[in-house]
Structure 1
Amino acid sequence: MNALLPTSIVGSLPKPSWLAQPETLWSPWKLEGDELLEGKRDALSLAVDEQRLAGLDVVSDGEQTRQHFVTTFIEHLSGVDFERRETVRIRDRYDASVPTVIGAVGRERPVFADDARALRAQTDRRIKWALPGPMTMIDTLSDRHYRSREKLAWEFAKILNQEAKELEAAGVDIIQFDEPAFNVFFDEVGDWGVAALERAAEGLRSETVVHICYGYGIKANTDWKATLGPEWRQYEQTFPLLQRSTIDTVSLESHNSRVPVDLIELLRGKNVMLGAIDVASDQIETPDEVAATLRDALRFVDADRLCPSTNCGMAPLARQVARDKMSALAAGADIVRAELA
């Protein structure tokens, strides 16, 4: 385990073709019942091995037991009707058929604790678990009960905090909250978004991360990026708020993006999980390209606070592409570590 420049993926890895349709988001499972439970665990084990073989320092589950990074968590909550589906605009970008909140939301039992224990048993490296953030959860639902995005976000924040504490008890070292909605709803981020995120992370001893990206490499996201102009300055709205927050680490997209690298300066004092791998392209980065991205960032963040990572999840990529990208990430970090030494 490298103490300097610890490498990790953001979240998802491609699923094996015997478990779900390859290179597809929201892909239905190919197994059912006990076979599905066994298949998910087998896929989790494979994901651990692939990260270890690639040389990553921090290992995650690759989200192998989840169909989607938001809805799989919501599926386990009461007050949400998955039969009653409505079409909503997600992150002001694309329409999706989503479940409906019909009553008070609640969590009757832990959602991911068993999977986290299975992950913990398979590696002595630090492990990370990703949860959806409160604002991104409410943006992936239709709400017919609270009729207030803020009220529902606060309810989800409490539920997420319960789940995070159980993940911590299961041995998770790093708990990440995915908040791509922070790149869209800037007024809400300032009014209550960061506060709700802090509520979700309240009282945790594990390292806490907020991941804010420009999305998976799917058409709706790449089309949106094409409208953002020569510089993507969305982080300028959120980084000053997060710099003053209780969250330990901020995860951002960098390589092949149009995010001005000097925006990292706005996070001074926080850990920076830097996306040095482009997940919207099948092209494999060279270790030298990764190293160049990291060197660029080191002008604005201290080396002991830089954590090389991917821009976003890799679920829609081919498995070999994801493996090669992870290896490039580890090799690029090795180059820069040697220079720093």
Structure 2
Amino acid sequence: MLTNVPGYPRIGSGRELKKANEAYWAGTASLEKLQLTARQLRRQNWEAMQQAGIDLIPSNDFSYYDQVLDMCLMTGTIPARFKPLLERLASPQSLELYFAMARGYQKNGLDITAMEMTKWFDTNYHYLVPEFDTTQQYRLLSHKCVEEFREAKSLGIHTKPVIIGPLTFLLLGKIKDHSLHLHSLLEQLLPVYLQLLTALQEAGATWIQIDEPYLAMDLNPAIHQLYINTYNRIHQAIPGLQLLIATYFDALGDNLATALQLPVQALHIDLVRAPQQLTTVLQQLPAGMQLSLGVVDGRNIWKNDYQLSLALINEAVQAIGQDRVWISSACSLLHTPYDLDLEQDEQVLTREIKHWMAFAKQKLHEIADLAQIATGNNTSLAANMAAMQAKQHSPLIHKPAVKARVAALDESHATRKSPFHVRQESQEVAFQLPLFPTTTIGSFPQTAEIRQLRAQLKKGTISSEEYHQRIKAAIAETVKWQESLHLDVLVHGEFERNDMVEYFGEQLEGFVFTQNGWVQSYGSRCVKPPIIYGDVQRTHPMTVAWSSYAQSLTKKPMKGMLTGPVTILQWSFVRNDQPRADTTFQIALAIRDEVSDLEKAGIRVIQVDEPAVREGLPLRRANWDAYLQWAVQAFRIAVCSVLDDTQIHTHMCYAEFNDIIDSIAAMDADVITIETSRSQMELLEAFARFKYPNEIGPGVYDIHSPRVPTVEEMSSLLQKASTLLPARNIWVNPDCGLKTRNWPETEQSLRNMVAAAVQSRSAVLVN
């Protein structure tokens, strides 16, 4: 019985890749130093899997920034605007081009915007969106996949190369030219895939994993046929290949027949998200096809329940035989932290709760354990059963008062006093803002000095009093600076916050934290998600003191900044012993209490960020309504306690809203801010078509790129917005928080943004 891992984390147990990337970008480390770090991380990962007893060890799951971006470079899918840079480079596969595509490029006389970024299915990982246009000449531009296979081979480790499948790659992207179609693009791309697969075969690869997660999505009959035709052509061209098609994040469902028609040797299915699919898959699995069972959760940190997994494994073994069954994680372990053994501080993570958990390294051993138990070695089964029993009966988890409060919720808790048009008039009188009011999303640059302050407080090297005074000084300076820029609605900068979810989790009961539980969000951006282990409640105000202090420094409106219940849920590792909706309503009530206290303290603009609402959508449309109903309800529970002239904002970023616009409207926020800069206001068109009634702040510049946008380009975006929406309803803001940027580029960008707003006001008055 083989053991399989679809992919492994790549940032390093100490975030070595993040640090190496950022040093290279800053010019303080050489390319050779970055490449050395990458080689060391790959070797560590391969050896960890080898030592754990994994048979099918992945390669090419490593990436400097993003695996979809890797595939873009590998296939020559380079947007036309990068051609001037490409012509200057000695090698078209250089990291300078690669990072320019990810982050934008603004030097040496060139000013090129970055590729668009969005969420990887329903995870909090972001990928770079491929762009397909008529200028591209698809060719095998990068040999990274083959090189990393050979690199592992030189270390005595035979790996299973992993690539994104051709249909998923195309479906993840955007076709920029209406004359192009999926079928014609596939015709151009397929020869590149054949060349790559041939090169891997010649290098000695025995198994190749092709990720086709789109097989868990809703697909039309034409795409079903493209899948069959594509893999038939691959099989005919390279008949000796042993291919594993990997699906994950949901059941194959009505795509099962198509998946089983593909001439491949193995199929991987996700039995954590969709255990119910196993029986049907086994009934229809072609003779000889191997089946990889994704029974270990690749997206959460809880210890595997061996009894539940063994029931699935035994069902498969009885149906098709042990020699055709592989034991695997459900998806890549990219979404989990590295190593639970690094958590040594029991003041941060208690021994009891830690005993219920498993990170990526521990999940390798769970996979190996399950294979051993399934073949007769029960050594580790008793300890696992004891851990499951201890968790189930722990008094740490359940709080009857919290459950009773959720049970008492009704529609009155989720309804504002008046409809939006009445509230809008009250707010216009209360705030007296100009047309195209300017604001930011909430956070300002977190400098090394600010981060050091928090570290010093945690270590006890400075007193709480000194910490508070120095954070207050940073807030005061920032408020004064915002006033000098003539921003209309200010923020306090969030200098006291480590992370928009972690900060709140630290102050809510039912959460626990880690010291080293980092996972990659995008590029070098790593997050350390809180862990929701039990019932959630708020016992004290979390933000009121900081927001009140900031408001005392200015006569302009000061936004109170909160994170919404769905985002706190989505960006945490969530308990797996009750429905996610129940946990979300518990969080919503905690945020509701904070909103009420902010309003009582005189904060009349309150932003409750919900960037994760879209990413939480189930992959299948048939399951959307149930999710959206409780997600929208949770947001409304959190904010609907306020008066008409208290303005509720929310923020969402990097998501397609066309298909859920009615649910966004149902949230009934007075103002929504969204990302539209990388998509050139494309996302705003959905709001216009829907005739979205409330106010909108379309992000006019991309904060994920270090380039400074010009006044002209932001004015142009606002002009486009004005053709789609009433000027009365348009706000002006960046597309996300500014925490990761530096001060010089932030200052210049915001000056340009305010100037663009002033130009737009003048244009409206003239017209």
Q: Which blocks of at least 5 consecutive residues in structure 1 are unaligned?
A: 22-26, 215-231
> What corresponds to 1:39 in structure 2?
470
Deviations along 1:58-81, one digit per CA (max 9) or x if unpaired, are 001111121111110111111222
Q: Name the counterpart of 1:106.
A: 537
| Other structure's SS at 1:103 match | strand
Within the candidate set 188, 191, 199, 2:629 is matched to 191
Given that 1:282 and 1:321 are in contact with CA atoms closer than 8 Å, whether structure 2 keeps it comes out as yes
Aligned position for 2:666: 244
Residue in 2 aligned with 1:211?
A: 651
Aligned residue for 2:663, secondary structure, equals: helix
Distance in 2 (alpha carbons) for counterparts of 1:195 and 1:85:
34
Aligned residues of 1:239 and 1:267 also touching (Cα < 8 A): no
Q: Residues 85 and 99 of structure 1 are in contact (CA less than 8 Å); yes or no, is this contact kept in structure 2?
A: no
Note closer, same or farther for the CA distance 1:267–1:325 as it changes in structure 2 (3 Å cut).
Answer: farther
For residues 193 and 327 of structure 1, the distance between their equivalents in structure 2, rounded to whole angstroms, comes to: 36
Whether the 8 Å contact between 2:454 and 2:496 is mirrored in structure 1 is no
Tell me which amino acid in the other structure corresponds to 1:244.
Answer: A
**TM-score of the superposed pair, with normalisation by structure 2:** 0.39
Asked if 1:264 is matched to 2:704, the reply is no
Shift in Å, 1:50? 2.2
How many Å separate the matches in 1 of 2:477 and 2:750? 14
In the alignment, is the contact (CA less than 8 A) between 2:542 and 2:594 conserved in 1?
yes
**More off after superposition, 40-49 vs 304-313:** 40-49
Percent sequence identity is 23
Letter in 2 for 1:318: N
Amino acid at match of 1:299: T
Alpha carbons of structure 1 residues 153 and 259: separation in structure 2 relative to 1, 3 Å: farther
User: What residue identity is the alignment partner of 1:236?
Assistant: N
Q: Rg bigger for which structure?
A: 2
Q: Distance in 2 between matches of 1:298 and 1:189?
A: 33
Aligned partner letter, 1:182? V
Structure 2 residue matching 1:204: 3-state secondary structure: coil
CA distance in 1, matches of 2:576, 2:673: 32
Counterpart amino acid of residue 197 in structure 1: F
Partner of 1:60: 491
1:235-254 Cα offsets, whole Å, 9 max, x none, are 11332212233321221111
* Equivalent residues in 2 for 1:210-229, closer than 5 Å: 210-214=650-654
Counterpart residue number, 1:4: 435
User: In the alignment, which residue of structure 2 is the partner of 1:78?
Assistant: 509
The answer to whether the 8 Å contact 1:183/1:235 transfers is: yes
- CA change 1:141–1:90 in 2 (3 A) is farther
1:319 paired with 2:743, answer yes
Give the match for residue 117 of structure 1: 548
Counterpart AA for 2:455: W
Task: Please give the alpha-carbon distance, in whole angstroms, between the structure 1 residues aligned to 2:519 and 2:594.
Answer: 26
Residue type of the partner of 1:119?
A: A
Displacement of 1:7 in angstroms is 0.2
- One-letter identity of the residue aligned with 1:190: L
1:125-158 deviation per Cα after TM superposition (whole angstroms, max 9, x unaligned): 1111221111110122223375321111101111
The worse-fitting range, judged by mean Cα deviation, of 94-103 and 142-151 is: 94-103
Which residue of structure 2 lines up, in the alignment, with residue 300 of structure 1?
724
Task: Compare 145-154 and 35-44 and name the one that shifted more.
Answer: 145-154
| 1:290-311 deviations in Å (ceiling 9; x for gaps) | 1111110111211111111110
- Report deviation, 1:256: 2.4
- Counterpart residue number, 2:734: 310
Aligned-residue offset at 1:102: 3.0
User: Could you say which residue in structure 2 is the equivalent of 1:221?
Assistant: none
AA matched with 1:264: F
Q: Which moved more, 1:39-48 or 1:183-192?
A: 183-192
The Cα of 1:83 is off from its aligned counterpart by 5.0
**Structure 2: which amino acid aligns with 1:213?**
C
- From 235, 238, 250, the counterpart of 2:657: 235
Closer/same/farther in 2, CA of residues 258 and 304 from structure 1, 3 Å limit: closer
Q: Which has the higher helix share?
A: 2
Distance 1:157 1:326 in 2: 33
C-alpha deviation, 1:114, in angstroms? 0.6
Structure 2: where are the runs of 5+ without partners? 1-431, 618-623
* Shift in Å, 1:329: 1.1
Instruction: Indicate if the aligned counterparts of 2:442 and 2:493 stay in contact, CA closer than 8 A.
Output: yes
Amino acid at match of 2:673: S
Cα gap change, 1:161/1:132 in structure 2, threshold over 3 Å: closer, same or farther? same
Distance 1:14 1:335 in 2: 27
Q: Is the 8 A contact 1:275 1:310 kept in 2?
A: yes
Partners of 2:642 and 2:600 lie apart in 1 by 10
Structure 2 Cα separation of the partners of residues 69 and 84 of structure 1: 17
Q: Distance in 2 between matches of 1:77 and 1:316?
A: 25
TM-score (structure 1 length as normaliser): 0.85
Q: Distance in 1 between matches of 2:698 and 2:744?
A: 22
Task: Out of 42-51 and 183-192, give the one that drifted further.
Answer: 183-192
Q: How many residues align?
A: 317
- From the superposition, tell whether residues 15 and 211 of structure 1 become closer, same or farther in structure 2 (CA, over 3 Å): same
C-alpha displacement of 1:183: 2.7
Once residues 700 and 731 of structure 2 are traced to their aligned partners in structure 1, the CA distance between those partners, rounded to angstroms, is 10
Distance 2:728 2:484 in 1: 24
**Whole-angstrom distance in 2 between the partners of 1:294 and 1:279:** 17
Give the alignment partner of residue 756 of structure 2, picking from 328, 332, 336: 332
The secondary structure found in structure 2 opposite 1:299 is helix
| Aligned residue number for residue 347 of structure 2 | none
Q: Deviations over 1:86-140 (max 9, x none)?
A: 677879xx98543322332111110111111101101101111221111110122
Instruction: Report the CA distance shift for 1:330/1:61 in structure 2 as closer, same or farther (over 3 A).
Output: same
Distance 1:115 1:10 in 2: 17
Equivalent residue number for residue 224 of structure 1:
none
Counterpart pick for 2:572 among 130, 136, 141 = 141
Q: Which residue of 2 aligns with 1:51?
A: 482
Deviates more, 1:99-108 or 1:73-82: 99-108
Of 77-86 and 284-293, deviating more is: 77-86
Q: 1:322 and 1:65 mapped to 2: Cα distance?
A: 19
Tell me if the contact between 1:44 and 1:62 (Cα under 8 Å) persists in the aligned partners: yes
| Residues in 2 aligned to 1:163 and 1:267: alpha-carbon distance in whole angstroms | 32
CA contact (8 A) 1:18 1:30 kept: no
Contact 1:14 1:314 in 2 (8 A): yes
RMSD value, Cα? 2.5
1:289 match: secondary structure: helix
Q: Which secondary structure state, in structure 1, belongs to the residue aligned with residue 731 of structure 2? A: strand
- Compared CA separation, residues 96 and 114, structure 1 to 2 (3 A): closer
* Counterparts in 2 of 1:96 and 1:334: CA distance versus 1, 3 Å: closer
TM-superposition CA deviations, 1:166-210 (whole Å, max 9, x none): 111222221111112123122365231111111111121211112
Q: Distance in 2 between matches of 1:96 and 1:108?
A: 25
More deviation in 56-65 or 258-267? 258-267
**Amino acid paired to 1:195:** Q
CA distance in 2, matches of 1:316, 1:88: 16
Letter in 1 for 2:669: I
3-state SS of 2:496 partner: coil
Task: Name whichever structure is richer in strand by fraction.
Answer: 1
